[in-house]
Structure 1
Amino acid sequence: MVSARVDHADVIVVGLGPGGEDAAGRLAEAGLDVVGIDERLVGGECPYWGCIPSKIMVRSADLLAEGRRITGHAGTAMVHPDWRLAARAVREATADWDDKIAVDRLTGRGTRFVRGTGRLTAPDQVTVADADGNETEIRARRAIVLAVGSEPAVPPIPGLAGTPFWTNHEAIEAAEVPRSLLVIGGGAIGLELGQAFNRFGTAVTIVEGMPRLLPGEEPEAHELLLRVLTEDGLDVHTSALVGSVAYRDGVGFTTNCERGERLTAERLLVATGRRTDLARLGAVAIDVDPDLRALPVDDRLRVVPPVGGRPGVWALGDATGKGAFTHMSMYQAEIVVRGILGQGGAVASYHAVPRVTFTDPEVGAVGLTEAQARGKGLAVRTGYADLASSSRGYVHRVGNEGFIKVVADETSGTLVGATAAGPYGGEILGALAVAVHGRVPLEVLREQIWAYPTFHRAIGDALRGLGTT
């Protein structure tokens, strides 16, 4: 039997991933009565199935690769992978998928926590259903913050539903490595996990429907990763649309691609992006089309501005469609908190969003790709530098493949995008991200002194590749 009760709060935060948790905690510390709602683990995707455990897997796999590079360069070595050690490290980092520490951290900052599924039922109200079906109607006096995150997007491939396919959750929680793994999706998640499992001994096949791996990044990143992954033994198929999936217990998965490939594996990982279910959230209660891909927000992250004493509705994180990154949710949380507290400050800006794919080599990028810049009608020049050539001080280093590519707008004389692919690509990206974010003039960047011998000095070579006007 469903029972209902009514509660009130100054602020209701639905979704307690990194950004939602931070916003709830800061608002509570500011003296507001805050209720935080989540049906899953407090802390969200990042600490349990995303950023942190996946990078433990990636780092462990990278150690194996480095060990295998010793022979012929620094001595001899025999590497024997042991997945149990990596799996144990993941379990320890996630507290075996227990969020007690996170809940205590949240409530310790003054937030009231409600475990359950929250949905909008009025412009100022969220109804929460717990595991037993009991409902609580919570009415906001000042604000509602929607930080519901996203979930794996599973494509409607015939035969897929009902099979024991993996998403990133099952892959991260795996106690053993499969003999073989078929990955549908050649984006960041599919490539990171696919390469990691391969280095632990799994035969991995990547199937990507678009013509390129990392289709949202520069084509040079695809070319680099395709070469490296293939050399490492992964079987990579691009422009390959999966037409059907079949599963037999004890045998595994069989996929049939529309152009004729028939691929088999013990396990199947679906890594085809993420989605936010606005219908389940009850977006219609605030006059938002539930079929939209993301919540429409203004430059202060408001979905519904506060009017005439009525509470406003803000959104942050994946649900805003501005990038499914932890750093994006934290950036947006800052703006949301200032907005609710009436502190003003800078509005949201997305011209210099950084992103990193933690493959080996890493692919770090910021701002616009060349194609995106041209698509916006910008007068574009590009510069390119090969890492191995630019970093001559590392001629004896193994695994120094990569490049720097910069995209400049001739009209403004600044960089509007850049990619750093190679060893420490995500770290090299820092200098490029500052340049794009700060709209640093090209003539100033060209005056920069780049330390030698480093990989980041290739930025200088790429800038020289732009030429002068």
Structure 2
Amino acid sequence: MAVRADTADVVVVGLGPGGEEAAGRLAEAGLDVVGVEEGLVGGECPYYGCIPSKIMVRSAGLLAEGRRITGHAGTAMVHPEWRPVTRAVRKATADWDDKIAVERLIGRGVRFLRGTGRLTARDEVTVADVDGNETAVRARQAVVLAVGSEPAVPPIPGLARTPYWTNREAIRVEEVPGSLLVIGGGSIGLELGQVFCRFGTAVTVVEGMQRLLPREEPEAHELLLKVLTDNGIEVHTSARVGAVDYEEGAGFTLYCDRGERLVAERLLVATGRRSDLAKVGALAVDVDAEAPALPVDERLRVAPPVSGRPGIWALGDVTGKGAYTHVSMYQADVVVRGILGEGGPPAAYHAVPRVTFTDPEIGAVGLTEWEARERGLAVRTGLVDLSTSARGTTHQIGNDGFVKLVADMLSGVLVGGTTAGPYGGEVLGALSVAVHARVPLAVLREQIWAYPTFHRAIGDALRQIK
């Protein structure tokens, strides 16, 4: 089959949030840019991740608030209905159609190719469309790899033969199941598990590690374990799934190594994400195709420009620096400045914020206490329960939470923090600034914190650090 040849200043492979932003800005700067995407322009976030999942979370939160009215503000009867959620998700995703996103991209001056792009040489990307036609685009100045990631599905015996869900199928569901098993106690599994629980599904979460949200502070696990259990969710930690079985009409059965036999109508696999380096052609730049991420320097270069040959940059999930939209957008700025020769600060990851949108929300930035101690820092912590700091908030009205601060006493700054509770992601903003800017503890202690607010607990926690 003939291969069509093309050239461009820059080829961007993968048009999720970061790839789209980089391609658009480079085109607006006057470069000839070809953008390549095999899926939906905009990536996971607007179609299967951040946006639709938060519509579901918000809807489930309204149900929870309605149920809290009785005994606190009158009486209320709440009847969950999934159809409005489905309508809202379809509207937000344009029914999983990226026509508007493609038009937006082209409007910025990007030439768009639909297909799977792979490196076939250091300066060449070959794009195969769904019909098998190929276009080899030679880059004069740069190649940007922003291919994102896919749900990681563990090799559990029997799983591949079943109609399991990942987050993508869960987002598109039109009826809530009567029961749901969730493999994975990370952000995706807990957020979606709590959503379905609040709409009437019997939910069981199975996590192989000792804690839910194993990357976060142990206090976050303790808080969520209590709240989710109170919600009616069954939680199994340190539970390894040894096999999965499925029978039409009977549903799924999980067989755990400890002997548990768990049964439900549907199964959600939420065990992380992975980037396929073989698919993107990593071998063309001597990168191990089995590696977890593309190796990049502080300027996000996989291979810097040399001897007149274009450089290769990477951004987003494929760099292994955090599978978050805000990280890919941050990296896009570094990549654009590098390609345009504008300089500026290199990428830094000491203050990456992350939020799990459960109820209560778990916001975190920087290092956990364990990570700080592993690095040999002179660690001191401050931990405050929100009910103590806010003087009278109670579990009954949904104000469970805490603030935990991690300080390095040698440098005299915060290196991490967690804000768990109502609006935990919003309260996190203050700590993100403090950790990012390395604001001295002495300055933070002088701050006036508004009363009665949840963020006031930051001031209380600071006073515990001595």
TMscore range, shorter length: over 0.9
Mapping for residues 196-235 of structure 1, pairs under 5 Å: 196-235=195-234
**Matched-pair contact (CA < 8 Å) for 2:185–2:205:** yes
SS in 1 for 2:189: helix
Deviation (angstroms), 1:392? 1.7
What is the CA-CA distance between 1:394 and the residue it aligns to?
A: 4.4
- Once residues 19 and 115 of structure 2 are traced to their aligned partners in structure 1, the CA distance between those partners, rounded to angstroms, is 15
Which letter does structure 2 place at the counterpart of 1:204?
A: V
Q: Displacement, 1:397?
A: 7.6
Aligned to 2:425: 426
Any idea what the Cα deviations from partners look like across 1:324-351, whole Å, max 9, x if unmatched?
A: 0000000000000000000000000000
Shift of 1:395: 5.8
Contact 1:35 1:111 (8 Å CA) reproduced:
yes
Cα deviation, residue 465, structure 1: 1.1
The equivalent residue for 2:193 is 194
CA separation in 1, counterparts of 2:330 and 2:351?
Answer: 12
Residue 294, structure 1, aligned to residue 293, structure 2: yes
Paired residue secondary structure (1:104): helix
Aligned-partner SS, 2:313: strand
Structure-1 residue corresponding to 2:443: 444
User: Which residue of structure 2 lines up, in the alignment, with residue 104 of structure 1?
Assistant: 103
| 2:415 is the alignment partner of 1:416 | yes
Q: Which residue of 2 aligns with 1:181?
A: 180
CA distance in 1, matches of 2:167, 2:156: 18
Cα separation, 1, equivalents of 2:223 and 2:396: 18
Runs of 4+ residues over 3 Å off in structure 1:
393-397
| 8 Å contact from structure 1 (residues 393, 452) kept in 2 | no
Aligned residue in 2 for 1:119: 118
Distance 2:384 2:462 in 1: 9
Contact 1:393 1:453 in 2 (8 A): no
Partner SS for 2:463:
helix
The reply on whether 1:236 has 2:211 as its aligned counterpart is no
Task: Give the secondary structure class of the aligned counterpart of 1:392.
Answer: coil
Counterpart residue identity of residue 181, structure 1: L
Structure 2 gaps of 5+ residues are none
Q: Deviations over 1:81-103 (max 9, x none)?
A: 00011111000000000000000
Paired amino acid for 1:342: G
Q: One-letter code of the match for 1:18? A: P
Whole-angstrom distance in 1 between the partners of 2:189 and 2:314? 28
- CA distance 1:309–1:105, shift in 2 (3 Å): same
State the alpha-carbon separation in 1 of the partners of residues 390 and 464 from structure 2: 16
Which whole-Å CA distance do the structure 2 matches of 1:393 and 1:245 have between them?
Answer: 46
Q: What whole-Å deviation, never above 9, does each CA across 1:150-206 have from its counterpart, x for those lacking one?
A: 000000000001210000000000010000000000000000000000000000000
Q: Deviations over 1:398-448 (max 9, x none)?
A: 111100000000110000000000000000000001000010000100000
CA offset digits 1:43-87 (Å, max 9, x no partner): 000000000000000000000000000000000000000001111
- Equivalent residues in 2 for 1:47-66, closer than 5 Å: 47-66=46-65
Shift of 1:377: 0.9
**SS of the counterpart of 2:253?**
strand
- How does 1:293-442 map onto structure 2 within 5 Å? 293-392=292-391, 394=393, 398-442=397-441
Distance in 2 separating the partners of 1:167 and 1:395: 35
Q: Which amino acid aligns with 2:443?
A: V
Question: Whole-Å Cα distance in 1 between the matches of residues 275 and 292 of structure 2?
Answer: 7
Counterpart contact for 1:416–1:436, Cα < 8 Å: yes
How far apart, CA to CA, are the structure 2 residues paired with 1:251 and 1:145? Answer: 47
Cα pair 1:393 1:454 within 8 Å, conserved: no
Amino acid corresponding to residue 90 of structure 2 in structure 1 = R
What is the one-letter code of the residue matched to 2:86? Answer: A
Instruction: Name 1:285's counterpart in structure 2.
Output: 284
**Alpha-carbon distance between aligned partners in 1 of 2:91 and 2:170, rounded to the nearest angstrom:** 16
| Contact 2:386/2:393 (8 A) holds in 1 | no
- Shift in Å, 1:251: 1.2
Q: TM-score normalised to the size of structure 1?
A: 0.99
Alpha-carbon distance in structure 1 between the residues aligned to 2:296 and 2:52:
31
Q: Give the aligned partner of residue 37 of structure 1.
A: 36
Q: Deviations over 1:112-135 (max 9, x none)?
A: 000000001000000010000111
Paired residues in the alignment total: 466
Change (3 A) 1:117 1:396: closer
Give the counterpart letter for 1:68 in structure 2.
R
Tell me if structure 2 keeps the 8 A contact 1:385–1:461.
Answer: yes
In structure 2, C-alpha distance between the alignment counterparts of 1:334 and 1:190, rounded to whole Å: 31
CA RMSD of aligned residues (A): 0.9
Aligned-partner Cα distance in 1 for 2:395–2:34: 57
Report the alpha carbon displacement of residue 393 of structure 1 after superposing the two structures with TM. Answer: 6.2
Q: 1:396 to 1:411 in 2, by over 3 A?
A: closer
Alignment partner, residue 128 of structure 1:
127
Listed as ranges, the gaps of 5+ residues in structure 1 are none
Conserved? CA contact 2:394–2:400, under 8 Å: no
Taking the aligned partners of 2:199 and 2:50, their CA distance within structure 1 comes to: 19
Deviation at 1:4, TM superposition (A): 1.1
Q: Which amino acid in the other structure matches residue 136 of structure 2?
A: E
The alpha carbon displacement at 1:308 in A equals 1.2
Once residues 267 and 393 of structure 1 are traced to their aligned partners in structure 2, the CA distance between those partners, rounded to angstroms, is: 40
Aligned residue number for residue 83 of structure 2? 84
Give the partner amino acid of 1:248.
E
C-alpha distance in 1 between matches for 2:375 and 2:293: 22
- 8 Å CA contact retained: 1:126, 1:137: yes
Identity of aligned residues (%): 77
- 1:10 match: 9
Measure the CA separation in 2 of the matches of 1:219 and 1:397: 23
SS at match of 2:397: coil
